[in-house]
Amino acid sequence: MKKLALLPALLLIGSIAVQAQVRNLVPIVRPVLHESTKAFILKLGESMAKDGYKDAAEYLKAWAEGGFGSGFVYVDPRDGRNFVVTNRHVVAQAELVTLEFEKEDGSTTSYKSCPILAVSETLDLALIGFPNGAKPFSAGIGISTSLPVDGLDIWSAGFPGLLSRPSWQFGKGSVTNNRARVPELADPAETELIQHSAPIDPGSSGGPLLAAAKSAASGYEVIGINTWKVGGRQDTNFAIPSAAIRNFIQTALAPVSTSPGDKLAERSQAFVAASSSPEDAYKKLARFISYEFVAKEGERLLKSALSSAPTKIRTDIVERFIGSSPVEGLRYAIAYAIAETAELGPAIGLGPREGIVVDGGEGSVGLKRGDNAVSTRWILEHGHWRLASFPPVESKAAAEAASEKKKKSASGFDFVSPYDFAFTGGALFELGGDKIIAGNLGMALDIFSSYFIMMHFEMGFGKSKYYDSWDMEEKSAAFIMPRIGLTAQLPLQFGELYIVPYGKYSVGFNMSLSLGDDLSGFLSSIGAGLYLTPPGSSWSFGAEYAHISIAEPFDGNTKKMNALSAFVAYGFY
């Protein structure tokens, strides 16, 4: 009996030892931003705050302080070179990386100034080297050559944040779909994903998804790299499978057989093809935008996109800005500006091959648009040629558009709505009659990607007097007034001040919360109003006049009233 009782303890000790081996091979990955990038992000935050984007400003400030992710050690079996594999989004804007290996006793070993050797532009993968080619590890975690089956026990390993600090987590789950096709996360033509239930949280990104492997020194092998967590749904996490990881590493470490000039020629040709894409060209162009380009033009083009781009485009940019990183959102904004430029005039074409010049990590490419030559500058960034400058195109359409924009800027006048979505609150006052006073809450959102048409939902509530014919006395009853309608507005922007006159039509119900009164009925109202949005503010202040008709459902009588309301609104782009 005593010998049998020792067995679970021995198994537990063995499990702890294996976990310790895994822990030694899973680092905290800290991106090191270039000082100019950090300064740019902080300056952008201050500028966004002045323009009223306060939430974005706070997010930028926090992001500039630096984040962290996870990774795992890979040792090349051919020559013993040491690498760390992680997610691209963990290190995307970094100049260098610091790798921290935390031991069980809490002590750490750090490797600073680690170079980012390669990033994938189609999958969320990155390869990091050790400083000066150091080889501190004789073996890493092996990468599986097979696809895990559904239901297989698996483990996630990494350092998710706990009270803003990385904290070791080794959590168990199972494979719930070994061939998940999620186009929003990865092109199914390139790779399917592993859906699983092992716990991951912010900071787990880049950490390995593991399966038991008896032959492995660590006791586990990598079947995927944890990358995405779906909010609002329990235990729905996604990992990039091992086959895609192996292909990425093989490509990244393959000997370079193409000259830098030929690589740049291929790259610029792909850029030209992306610029003429019939749908969502900006999404295809974003991968060509360098961080240097972001620092020079990102702020201006982001604000331009947020103020004038269609709602769908703005939503995509904001989702990238928040969901991925601020710099990725800025790259989308720049890519959108280039895509718009490409639509204004002749298509972008590739100039003669001799117009491509490479000097170290920089290059220039001569493009053309109709009869006009366009000179572009490129830099080598994370193993890829990326665009560092793209001058304005001197086509007639582009010149006319720029001239019109310049006129509006000089006059300080434009047609721009101060928000796409807003919550409202206020009070309604009946003019004459029973002098009803009611509260009013609501929300408004633009439709058809238009500044001029808004849909609104409102709920009024209050008390009204009525004559009770049974008791032969005057009484009061509470009521609610739900309604829906359309607002046609003329949003005028003068510098940073918005003045918006509008007309409004609503339908709904006036519903009494008491019995025996005559207050309930179908409601319709027509009105007009005006609201103001001060410079740099998300708040708007307005007043509205409305003529309201309430048709009683049984006796056919219609009560009519005129009302004045005052309200405040808090808007969002």
Residues 6+ apart with CB under 8 A from 280: none
**Residue reference for tokens 């001799």:** 354
Question: What are the structure tokens assigned to 241, written together?
Answer: 């499978």
Is residue 438 predicted with pLDDT exceeding 90? no
Mean pLDDT for 174-199 is 92
Q: What is the pLDDT of residues 454-477, one digit of tens each?
A: 999 999 888 876 656 565 566 677
- Other CB atoms within a 10 A radius of the CB of residue 153 amount to 13
For domain 16-254, the CATH class is mainly beta
Q: What does pTM read for this prediction? A: 0.61
Burial tier of 555 (Cβ tally within 10 Å: 0-12, 13-18, 19+): exposed
What whole-number distance in Å separates Cα of residue 88 and Cα of residue 93? 9
Q: What is the pLDDT of residues 24-48, one digit of tens each?
A: 999 999 998 877 777 888 888 888 7
Q: What is the pLDDT of residues 130-174, one digit of tens each?
A: 999 999 999 999 999 999 999 999 999 999 988 778 899 999 999
Mean pLDDT for 554-560 is 76
Residues 6+ apart with CB under 8 A from 305: 313, 314, 317, 333, 336, 337
Domains 16-254 and 421-572 alike in fold: no
What residues does each domain of the chain span? 16-254, 260-397, 421-572
Identify the pLDDT of residue 277.
Answer: 83
| 421-572 under CATH 1.25.40.10, yes or no | no
Is residue 90 predicted with pLDDT exceeding 80? yes
CA nearest 141: which of 247, 212, 91?
212
Per the prediction, the chain carries an average pLDDT of: 83
Residue 312 corresponds to which amino acid?
Answer: K
Burial tier of 328 (Cβ tally within 10 Å: 0-12, 13-18, 19+): buried
Helix orientation angle between 326-344 and 291-308, rounded to the nearest 10 degrees? 70
Mean pLDDT for 172-184 is 92
